[in-house]
Copies of this chain bind each other. A is one copy, B any other.
Amino acid sequence: MSETEFDIIGRYFRRQPVKRKDVLTGIGDDAAVLRLPVDRELLLCIDTLVADVHFPAGTPAAAIGHKALAVNLSDLAAMGAEAAWATLALTLPEPDPVWLEAFSGGFFALAGRHGVQLVGGDTTRGPLTVTVQAHGFAPQGQALQRTGARPGDRIYVTGTLGDAGLALHLRDAAAAELRIRLDYPEPRLDAGSLLRGLASAVIDISDGLLADLGHLLEDKGLGASLQVDGLPRSRAFIAALQGLDAAPAELYYELPLSGGDDYELCFTVPERCCAEVERRLGGLSCGCTAIGTIEAQPGIRCCMQDGGSYQPAATGYLHFQGGDHD
Contact = CB atoms under 8 A, between A and B. Distances in A.
Highest count of chain B CB atoms <10 Å: which of A120, A121, A138, A320: A320
Interface in A27-46: 28-38, 40-46
Interface stretch (A2-10, A58-66, A154-162, A166-174): A2-10
Interface string A104-124: 000000000000000111111
Contact of A47 (B119, B122, B127): B122
A47 B319 contact: no
Contact of A321 (B2, B40, B89, B143): B2
Contact of A43 (B31, B44, B127): B31
Contacts of A32: 43-45
Copies of the protein in its oligomer: 2
A166 B153 CA distance: 63
A127 B125 contact: no
A255 interface: no
A145 B25 contact: yes
A87 interface: yes
A146 B29 contact: yes
A145 B29 contact: yes
A43 to B, nearest CB: 4
Highest count of chain B CB atoms <10 Å: which of A2, A87, A91, A202: A91
A225 interface: no
Interface stretch (A76-84, A278-286, A303-311): A76-84
17 contacts: A3-B320, A5-B318, A30-B45, A30-B146, A31-B75, A31-B78, A32-B45, A33-B138, A34-B41, A34-B43, A34-B44, A36-B40, A36-B42, A51-B126, A52-B126, A87-B133, A127-B129
A-B interface, 3 closest residue pairs, ranked by CB to CB distance from nearest: A50-B126, A31-B45, A5-B319
